[in-house]
Structures are given as C-alpha cells and as structure tokens.
Amino acid sequence: MKDRLVIARCSCGQVEIEAWGKPIASVICHCDDCQAAGLALAALPDAPPLLDAAGGTANVLYRKDRVTPTRGGHLLEAHKLTPDSKTNRMVARCCNTPMAVTFDDARHWVPLYRDRLEGAVPPVQWRICTKFAAPGVALPGDVPGHAMYPFSMMAGLALSAVAMLVER
C-alpha cells in the first residue's frame, strides 16, 4: 500500500507522475537556475507559469525510488539550461507543462513542481537560496527564508539517502 500518495498531472491530463511516502522537503527555491528555468519554461507555447510573484519555484522533494510516471511517461521531455547541465527540467510536451526535476548525477531525490500536485501535498517549509532573489523583490514572510539551505533540509536529504540504502 502506498501511503501519502500524490499525483502530479500536466495541464491537459495526458501525463501523470505518482509519488508516495513522506516527502523529504517542501520548498520554494530562488536560485539563479530555477529563476532562469522558470522564465524559459513559461515562454513555451501555452505553458503555465512556474515562478511565483517573488521569483521562486515551489517544489516538493521525494526520494527517487518513490516517484514514477504512471501515464504518458513517453511525453516527458528534458529541458537543460546549458548542454553540460546535470539538471533536467521535465516538461510534458503535450501541453508544455513543467512536471519535475531530474538529475544526471547521483542525487537521490526528485523535486516535483508543487502546482502540479494533487493529494496529500505538504505545506511549504522554507524559501531557499533567497540570496539570489532579484534586487528590489520583497520576499513574502509566509515561511522562513534562508540565504542557501537550512540545516534541517540538508539533514532530511542525508537521512533519506541512508533510508534508501537500508531499505534495499
């Protein structure tokens, strides 16, 4: 039985990604890459916006072994900011909806774009990488902000990596 199930669904419904279990973190990222990707992906034809009013991208991070496409996986297309980037923004090419982030390296987590999620979606915990916020942009005080990554987020990432090793 899969507990705490969430479904990420594209705008037209042809692509679904399922995630289950306790998420590692729920964040709004303000890093340069997320801002640049948010602008680039929103410029695709009929794409929904990705950035919030403060220039942040909301993600919920799950262990990689707890995320799987359940419908339309063949429609997911990787977008990279640069050819040598290890980060892939996965977009449903049927409707240009950003769905998730994957990595070409050994990172053990998958961020799912929060706006795509249905089900047991956790509340946002932190705004991260706020030192990259555009000058003059007032960050909302909705959740704690961190110039980079809070210790508790890094601890959660480390503990989830250990949990994946132990459960194998």
**pLDDT under 70 in the chain at which residues?**
1-2, 168
pLDDT at residue number 3: 79
Domain ranges of the chain: 6-167
Residue type, 61: L
pLDDT at residue number 168: 58
Alpha-carbon span 6 to 8, nearest angstrom: 7
Question: 57 is written with which tokens?
Answer: 């991208």
CB under 8 Å to 79, separation ≥6 — which residues? 37, 40, 41, 88, 89, 90, 91
Give DSSP secondary structure letters for 69-80.
Answer: EEE-GGGEEEE-
pLDDT at residue number 57: 98
pLDDT at residue number 4: 81
The residue ranges of DSSP E strands in the chain, in sequence order, are 6-9, 16-19, 25-29, 57-63, 67-71, 76-79, 87-92, 97-103, 109-113, 117-119, 126-128
Read off the pTM: 0.96
pLDDT at residue number 161: 97
Alpha-carbon span 77 to 99, nearest angstrom: 10
pLDDT at residue number 167: 84
6-167 is a CATH 3.40.140.10 domain: no
pLDDT at residue number 1: 47
